[in-house]
Every structure is written in structure tokens, then in C-alpha cells.
A = this chain, B = another copy of it.
Amino acid sequence: MSGSESYTLHYWPSIPGRGEYIRLAFEAAGQPFEENNKVESLVDHIMTDTVVGHPPHFAPPLLEIRRKESGREPSGGASAERFYLSQTPAILAYLAPKLGLTGLPADEVQGTEGDLKLAQLNQLTLTALDLSNEAHDTHHPVAVGAYYEEQKDEALRRAEDFRKNRVPKFLRYFETVIRSNGRGDGKRLIGPSLSVADLVLFQVLDGLSFAYPRLMASLERKGDYGGVFGLKRHVGGWDKVKGYVESGRRRKFSNGLYRHYPELDAEA
């Protein structure tokens, strides 16, 4: 755990979105965190100017990190330094070792090959987030700022390619990752323990099952991706994740990153 830091996640209200990848990491690690969902403070201040210091931020999620400056204040007053970090993959790579979510034993992370292993974890997180981005682009293939209804024809074409080519390619890849991880017991992307990459893949798969229920059910029935769907069940059944899901705190999928438009869905 990270006793010397405290965290506030700044993100849009209601939707899980990209903020959920960060929330899941905190929840799975049992790390307390606060959340600010006031949209106006996000857009008008934190994201567009330099109130938060350098560098400013392009888009949420935004993580506020407060560090206690121990030993620096002879007066004994515990002041805190405040930093801000955006970009989901950058936030997850930063948090993984602090939350014990690298998938790897601590001595391996701290050893001479630690930087390489963390880079490989980062690689896996990034690839799972690429699938998340492509899922979003199926309902917004032309303009992120326009309505779905204004780009429905394009969405139909993009979703077809997504179902036929992209999702199978990603699942095939992650299946190979899981099967070739000699220490993961068929349940982890990297190393023997739960990692941020596992959590992201869990959330992506769950989002896809919401958005594309017919596609995902037919892919699961085919049996070619036993490792992938096994990882999803395993992460979902993992104590703290299960507790989080059952608590009602987890935001429901609706009209965000993952959207269910029946006309975009079909069996594989």
C-alpha cells in the first residue's frame, strides 16, 4: 500500500468511462481514495489552464496526488505537496508498483530487471486500453463531439469490422499472453499475481459484454478463448473486486465508452 500518498480522482459523474480503470485499481488494492465529479471544475479549471501547475491536462481522468513531506518541516506541521497526473496508461503505470498491482513479486520489481518488467506490464495495459478505445470508436467513428445518430451509417460499418476482425484479433492475442504466462495459472496476463493489466482487461471484457452481448456470448461459446473468459471470471470473483461490484459503488455501463446499440451487435 501507499501510506505516504493520498489520492483524489477527478472524473465525470455517473459513467464508468476511463475513470473506472483507475477506480478498479484502488478498489482491488484496498486503497482509499476520494473522488471529485464536478464537471465544471474539471473543464474550466483543471484541464484547460495551469491552475494545477505544469503540465496542464488534455482530458480526464485526472489523478491528484498528495505527498506528505515528512522530515522537511522542523516545526512539525505536516504540509502536503500536490501533483496532478492525467492519461489513463500513465496513471496506471504510476500506481501499479505503489498499489502492489504489478503482477510480480516485489523483489523482481525492485531488481535489475525491474524496469523491463514494469515496461512489459505497461505494454499489456496499453494494448488492453487500445481495445477500449476501439470499442468507443465503433459508436463514434467520425466525430467524438457529435451524436451517435449523426454517424450511425459509419458506425454500422465500423462495428462490423470490429466484430469480425478487431475483437477476435485482440482476444487471440490475450489468449496467447495468458497461456504463455508460465506463472499465471491461466488466470493472469503477467506474473503470478493480480495486475493493473488484468483489471483493465476485466473491465474491457465486461464493457464489451454490455455493448455487444450477442458477439461476446457467441465468442465465449466457441471455446477458443478459454483463458480470456477465465481471466474475466477470476478477476470478477476476486475478493475485493467482488466486494466492490456487490457494494453498488461501481458505476453501471450506460451511455459512455461502452454503449449497447442492438443494431451494432451480432453473433461472431
Contact = CB atoms under 8 A, between A and B. Distances in A.
Interface string A183-204: 0000001100000000000000
Contact of A189 (B55, B123, B137, B173): B55
Nearest to A173: B58
Interface string A56-84: 11100000010000000000000000010
Interface in A6-51: 48-50
A113 B66 CA distance: 12
A108 interface: no
Contact of A87 (B87, B126, B137, B158): B126
A220 B113 CA distance: 45
Majority-rule SS of A interface residues: helix
Interface in A125-151: 126-127, 130, 133, 137, 141-146, 151
A91 B58 CA distance: 22
Interface in A114-128: 115-116, 119-120, 122-124, 126-127
A261 interface: no
Interface residues of A, number: 53
Interface of A: 48-50, 54-58, 65, 83, 85-87, 89-91, 93-94, 113, 115-116, 119-120, 122-124, 126-127, 130, 133, 137, 141-146, 151, 154, 157-158, 161, 165-166, 170, 173, 176-177, 180-182, 189-190
